[in-house]
Amino acid sequence: MNVAATSAATATGQALSATAARETALGQDAFLKLLLTQLQHQDPTQPMKDTEFIAQLAQFSSLEKLTEIAASMKQLTSAIAGATASAGADGVDGQ
């Protein structure tokens, strides 16, 4: 078994997870700032309808979950690539 390839795949997966976490946190912060600004500047005589507000929250929640799924898929792809490279290296050595 090629330990270097496995370690590299693990490190890559961890780096992708950390990047995805930062992107999600940035997205959450930006969304909350936008939402607060929107609520502060809305017309008091015509406040945002509940359905619009709920729709925005649902869209953000969906986007957040899709971002998590994409990060998981990248991590899985990296792990599979590392395992494939490791298996290929083991096969070349004849062991």
71 touches 22 (CB < 8 A): no
* pLDDT tens by residue, 11-42: 555 555 555 555 555 677 787 788 888 888 88
Contacts of 42 (CB under 8 A, 6+ apart): 48
Q: To the nearest 10°, report the CA torsion of 40, 21, 73, 11.
A: 170
Closest by CA position to 79, among listed 4, 1, 10, 3: 10
* pLDDT tens by residue, 42-92: 888 887 777 887 888 888 888 889 989 999 999 999 999 888 888 776 665
pLDDT-derived band at 95 (thresholds 50, 70, 90) equals low
Amino acid found at 39: L
